[in-house]
Amino acid sequence: MVKKDVKKELKKQPVKVETKVKAKSSTSFVDEITISIRAAYKQYLSDLESSQKLRLIDTFLAFLVVVGIIQFGFCLIGGSFPFNAFLAGFSATVGQFVLTVALRLQSVDENTKLFNGLLPERAFGEYIFASLLLHFVLIHFIN
């Protein structure tokens, strides 16, 4: 009964919608994006200075990107005769990259409230287990 009364009251009240359009030039939008990118880059550098673990993870991620580019370039230039071998190698690189990014997300101190009760040792153990499982599946894919 109360819900029906509330619905009737809401129907009686006029809805006011205020729309304000601010005319901004495209340069101010570009400036805002530039400022945001600079702030994110400064935060990234300060995180790297404070944690050697993050530097190591980021270096490994850069290595995986280079390996993936080399594999793809070799496939374009040299051909992909054993195509399943190329797919397994490239999938291993991409899969390891994804797993390492997940480990990095769990390693950042600001994300501890997102991962309640997850110890860094457990996150690393899960990373090792998932990496072994990934490579086991891909080795059997080659066969």
The confidence score (pLDDT) of residue 81 equals 79
Residues 6+ apart with CB under 8 A from 131: 96, 99
For the chain, which ranges sit under pLDDT 50?
none
Distance from C-alpha of 50 to C-alpha of 107, rounded to nearest angstrom = 13
The confidence score (pLDDT) of residue 121 equals 87
- In the block, which residue shows the tokens 């496939």? 75
Query: Token pair for residue 142?
Result: 């080659």
Residue 75 located in a structural domain = yes
Residue 128 located in a structural domain = yes
Number of domains present in the structure of the chain: 1
- Cβ distance 57 to 102 under 8 Å? no
Residue 20 located in a structural domain = no
Give the residue numbers spanning the domain of 87: 47-142
